[in-house]
């Protein structure tokens, strides 16, 4: 039986069990994802507090806005970093790596995988494996993303913090395992975010020295451009399953509680058309109709127009027209 509480609260690890694992194993896991933590039946659903300290630290670092201050330039960079990395997650981690809704070159595949990895949502193989598991068990007992099973807190981030889900089910992503560069990106998933944070810090320091009229500092670009935008991007993408399986309208009977939510579609560049997506996940387009705003789809069309991606899979007319109306 799961150790998660019925109201979705995340159980803490008892000291006696948490102490059994050497501290160096947890620290190594920050840098090398192959150092998978041991998880027996009694502890695998518990939060691995040592392993998730960087995740907690990112949230705490956002409070540094009161120390570094704010500038229009820093906020602009934060918004840009949110949008660019949100697109990398929705367009590539989700619609490409998880569902293969279009094709691209190996170089572009890696480039957008790196961009997605900068959002600190682990590597593309890990992300795709868990997402494919979600579609295989949507709102069933084994669906860790479902708020129907363990509540909002668990489906939003509790599962992500537990020992059970640190390692992906590689059997679901055999098509991705043949790319050693993707396996490397998954293993050392902290490297790209670290380099991005360092780059923003150094860029801010250079601008502070050479473009003082911008009023930006290295600390501002680090805190606003990296920490604030990263946390916002994480919570943006992670609201889809907890909220879009509870709030919104259901156009189609999909065998689960997926719903379309216009507000979340705006926040996540089109991912809020969740009932549409569960109706036909093989399509590159989640907004089935012109009035369903799907910014990720529009941007993917731009990439297709310039030849970076191709063979975009549409929504078949029979799927769009033969949906089964259900009560909202």
Residue 79 lies in a domain: yes
What share of the chain in percent tops pLDDT 90? Answer: 62
Q: What pLDDT is stored for residue 246 in this prediction?
A: 87
Residue 127 lies in a domain: yes
Residue 254 or 144, more confident: 254
Mean pLDDT value across residues 230-237:
95
Cα-based distances in Å from 196 to 3, 30, 212, 214: 37, 17, 22, 21
Mean pLDDT value across residues 12-31:
55
Residue 239 lies in a domain: yes
Residue 90 or 40, more confident: 90
Parallel, antiparallel or unpaired: strands 103-104 and 309-310 = antiparallel
The four Cα atoms 319, 320, 321, 324 give a dihedral, to 10 degrees, of: 80
CA distance 123 to 114: 8
Residue 16 lies in a domain: no
Position 129 pLDDT exceeds 50? yes
Residue 309 lies in a domain: yes
Under a CB-based contact definition with an 8 Å cutoff, are residues 250 and 258 in contact?
Answer: yes
Q: What pLDDT is stored for residue 303 in this prediction?
A: 98
Residue 269 lies in a domain: yes
Lowest mean pLDDT across 42-46, 99-103, 105-109, 240-244 = 42-46
Residue 6 lies in a domain: no
Q: What pLDDT is stored for residue 48 in this prediction?
A: 75
Mean pLDDT value across residues 62-76:
96
Confidence label for 8 from pLDDT (cuts 50, 70 and 90):
very low
Render 168-188 in DSSP notation, one character per residue: --GGG-HHHHT-HHHHHHHHT
Under a CB-based contact definition with an 8 Å cutoff, are residues 17 and 47 in contact?
Answer: no
What helix, strand, coil percent values describe the chain, rounded to 5? 55, 5, 40
Residue listed under structure tokens 């769009």: 320
- Identify the domain containing residue 300 by its residue range: 57-321
Residue 61 or 168, more confident: 61
Tally of domains within the chain: 1
Residue 260 lies in a domain: yes
């Amino acid at each position: 039986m799961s150790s998660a509480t019925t109201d979705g609260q995340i159980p803490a690890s008892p000291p006696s069990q948490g102490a059994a694992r050497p501290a160096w194993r947890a620290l190594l896991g920050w840098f090398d994802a192959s150092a998978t933590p041991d998880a027996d039946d009694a502890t695998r659903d518990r939060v691995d507090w040592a392993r998730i300290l960087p995740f907690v630290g990112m949230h705490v670092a956002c409070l540094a806005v009161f120390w570094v201050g704010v500038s229009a330039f820093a906020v602009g960079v934060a918004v840009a970093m949110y949008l660019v990395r949100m697109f990398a997650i929705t367009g590539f981690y989700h619609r490409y790596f998880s569902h293969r809704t279009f094709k691209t070159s190996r170089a572009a595949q890696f480039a957008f995988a790196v961009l997605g990895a900068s959002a600190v949502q682990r590597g593309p193989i890990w992300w795709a494996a868990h997402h494919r598991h979600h579609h295989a068990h949507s709102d069933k007992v084994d669906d860790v993303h479902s708020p129907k099973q363990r509540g909002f807190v668990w489906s939003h981030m509790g599962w992500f913090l537990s020992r059970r889900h640190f390692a992906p089910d590689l059997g679901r992503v055999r098509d991705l395992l043949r790319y050693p560069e993707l396996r490397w990106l998954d293993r050392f998933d902290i490297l790209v975010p670290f380099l991005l944070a360092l780059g923003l810090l150094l860029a801010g320091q250079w601008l502070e020295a050479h473009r003082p009229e911008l009023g930006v500092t290295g600390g501002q670009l680090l805190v606003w451009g990296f920490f604030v935008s990263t946390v916002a991007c994480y919570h943006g993408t992670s609201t889809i399953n907890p909220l879009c399986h509870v709030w919104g309208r259901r156009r189609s009977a999909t065998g689960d509680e997926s719903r379309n939510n216009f507000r979340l579609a705006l926040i996540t560049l089109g991912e809020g058309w969740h009932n549409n997506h569960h109706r036909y996940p093989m399509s590159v387009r989640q907004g089935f109709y012109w009035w369903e705003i799907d910014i990720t789809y529009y941007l993917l069309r731009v990439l297709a127009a310039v030849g970076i991606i191709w063979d975009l899979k549409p929504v078949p007319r029979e799927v769009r027209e033969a949906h089964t109306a259900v009560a909202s």
